[in-house]
Amino acid sequence: MERDIFTEEHDRFRDSVTRFVADEVVPFHDAWEREGMVPRELWIKAGGLGILCTDVPTLYGGGGEADFRYNVVVTEELAKVGASGVGFPLHNDVVVPYLLRHADDDQKQRWLPPMARGETITALAMTEPGTGSDLASITTTARREEDGSYRLNGAKTFITNGIQADLVIVCAKTDPDASHAGLSLLVVERGMAGFSRSPRLEKIGMHAQDTAELFFDDVIVPAENLLGEEGQGFGYLMEALPQERLSIAVSAIAGATAAFEATLTYAKQREAFGRPIGSFQNSRFALAEMYTKITIGQQFVDRCTVLHDRGQLTIDEAAMAKWWVTDLLGEVVDACVQLHGGYGYMREYPIARAFVDARVQRIYGGTNEIMKEIIGRSLGV
Ligand SMILES: Cc1cc2nc3c(=O)[nH]c(=O)nc-3n(C[C@H](O)[C@H](O)[C@H](O)COP(=O)(O)OP(=O)(O)OC[C@H]3O[C@@H](n4cnc5c(N)ncnc54)[C@H](O)[C@@H]3O)c2cc1C
């Protein structure tokens, strides 16, 4: 089914992103998976080509296109080739909105231009060893000092871009006695005394993605690094989470499409009992089911993208996209591994990597159970 949300300008932008991914990412991703990290130079190259911060105003060095479809193009092109290590979606889709909405002009001048150039890599740190889903229970504290700065103490875990990040938006309690109302967002920068990181966390998939634990031991964060207003952090997170969840859905549906297409080709070529394995009724049904669900899912995600650009995407609609499409991705990659037979279990086959990389998408960005809670609550139950 035709997708009709993109213009010729998006298509031209996509051509340049596709070329960048083919030349600068695909040939090296295997090596990055072994090394557990993507080189910083990739960020600089992407920045040079205008692939980062497309929606940041040109005044702050960005692409000046307040249009989420450009973000979608970048996220899709990476997902299509299984480039799960490249943390651009987290930077573009998740971190940038906080700065665009809540940073003052001085902060924007300081932080956004190097982010757009790929010189500053970013992260968002909400999850802690003791809590992920229940954000109001975080224990990282930021106590106000007499000079107005904050003394930050605590730890965050599973942080994407954690080791390479130069700028981390940290969610902390400025009022430990209050629940949601006690949360604030502070920007912690590389080099601040008392800020340290764990070695790279060993994951079962997404091996090239830099994921780490962050530690804050009496870090003095200047008042100029408070994002927005003290005590408003929870509201800011709630505002930004729909775009993060839509971004995950965009990536998941692109990944499912790529897995399906590779499997369709395989099923036409691989023979058993003297005929292509795709021609067995069971395989045809499996492929037909996947194709149908992916087509339906893509239309929903595209509709969410259009609504998001109009400022009309609701929290529960974004949650629907996130849970349904990431569940679908899990179902698709599982069926695709099965259709590949033993080869589907070999790491050299992209489908094997897609299988392990897919699993976490039901967990991060808010687990799918939490998505269903959000949707359920929106129904008044
Ligand atoms: C690879 C990776 C990258 C990540 N990147 C980031 C990042 O960049 N920044 C960041 O802040 N975090 C990040 N995370 C953390 C991620 O968002 C959390 O793991 C996730 O929100 C779940 O939190 P938790 O792990 O504490 O699980 P828990 O909250 O302990 O949940 C455990 C289980 O209980 C269920 N559960 C909890 N509460 C409820 C409820 N009310 N109703 C029903 N079921 C419930 C959950 O659905 C889950 O199945 C990342 C995680 C991974 C694995």
Mean pLDDT within 300-311:
98
Ligand 1 atom showing the smallest separation from residue 160 Cα: 8
Residue 191 binned pLDDT confidence (cut-offs 50, 70, 90): very high
Condensed to tens digits (0 to 9), the pLDDT of residues 207-245 reads 999 999 999 999 999 999 999 999 999 999 999 999 999
Write the single-letter amino acid at 350.
P
Please give the distance, rounded to the nearest whole angstrom, from the Cα atom of residue 143 to the centre of ligand 1.
Answer: 26
Neighbours of 31 (CB within 10 A): 10
pTM given for the model: 0.98
Condensed to tens digits (0 to 9), the pLDDT of residues 77-102 reads 999 999 999 999 999 999 999 999 99
- Terminal-to-terminal C-alpha distance of the chain: 35
pLDDT for 176 beyond 90: no
Please give the distance, rounded to the nearest whole angstrom, from the Cα atom of residue 202 to the centre of ligand 1.
Answer: 17
Condensed to tens digits (0 to 9), the pLDDT of residues 290-304 reads 999 999 999 999 999
Q: Whose CA is nearest to atom 24 of ligand 1?
A: 132
The Cα 152–Cα 143 span in angstroms is: 7
pLDDT for 55 beyond 90: yes
DSSP letter, residue 90: I
Assign 3-state DSSP to the chain and report helix, strand, coil percentages, each to 5: 55, 15, 30
The answer, yes or no, to whether any atom of ligand 1 lies below 6 A from the CB of 364, is yes
Percent of the residues in the chain that have a pLDDT greater than 70, as a whole number:
100
Please give the distance, rounded to the nearest whole angstrom, from the Cα atom of residue 122 to the centre of ligand 1.
Answer: 20
The Cα 190–Cα 226 span in angstroms is: 16
The Cα 334–Cα 328 span in angstroms is: 10
Residue 179 binned pLDDT confidence (cut-offs 50, 70, 90): confident
The Cα 291–Cα 114 span in angstroms is: 41
The one catalytic residue among 76, 128, 213, 244: 244
The pLDDT of residue 235 is 96
Handedness of CA 277, 280, 282, 288 (dihedral sign): positive
The answer, yes or no, to whether any atom of ligand 1 lies below 6 A from the CB of 111, is no
The answer, yes or no, to whether any atom of ligand 1 lies below 6 A from the CB of 299, is no
Please give the distance, rounded to the nearest whole angstrom, from the Cα atom of residue 3 to the centre of ligand 1.
Answer: 32
The answer, yes or no, to whether any atom of ligand 1 lies below 6 A from the CB of 131, is yes
Q: Which of 140, 157, 158 most suits a substitution to test ligand 1, by most atoms within 8 Å of the C-beta?
A: 158
Please give the distance, rounded to the nearest whole angstrom, from the Cα atom of residue 10 to the centre of ligand 1.
Answer: 34
Query: DSSP characters for 273-340?
Result: TTEEGGGSHHHHHHHHHHHHHHHHHHHHHHHHHHHHHTT---HHHHHHHHHHHHHHHHHHHHHHHHHH
The Cα 288–Cα 279 span in angstroms is: 12
pLDDT for 177 beyond 90: no
Establish whether 244 is a catalytic residue: yes
Ligand 1 atom showing the smallest separation from residue 162 Cα: 8
The answer, yes or no, to whether any atom of ligand 1 lies below 6 A from the CB of 124, is yes
Angle at 80 between CA 338 and CA 266, to 5 degrees: 35
Nearest CA-CA partner of 345 in 82, 78, 354: 354
Handedness of CA 126, 132, 136, 140 (dihedral sign): negative
Tokens 């060893």, residue?
Answer: 129
The answer, yes or no, to whether any atom of ligand 1 lies below 6 A from the CB of 159, is yes
Ligand 1 atom showing the smallest separation from residue 203 Cα: 1
Please give the distance, rounded to the nearest whole angstrom, from the Cα atom of residue 130 to the centre of ligand 1.
Answer: 10
Q: Whose CA is nearest to atom 12 of ligand 1?
A: 127
The answer, yes or no, to whether any atom of ligand 1 lies below 6 A from the CB of 127, is yes
The pLDDT of residue 178 is 86
Condensed to tens digits (0 to 9), the pLDDT of residues 312-353 reads 999 999 999 999 999 999 999 999 999 999 999 999 999 999
The answer, yes or no, to whether any atom of ligand 1 lies below 6 A from the CB of 138, is no
The answer, yes or no, to whether any atom of ligand 1 lies below 6 A from the CB of 337, is no
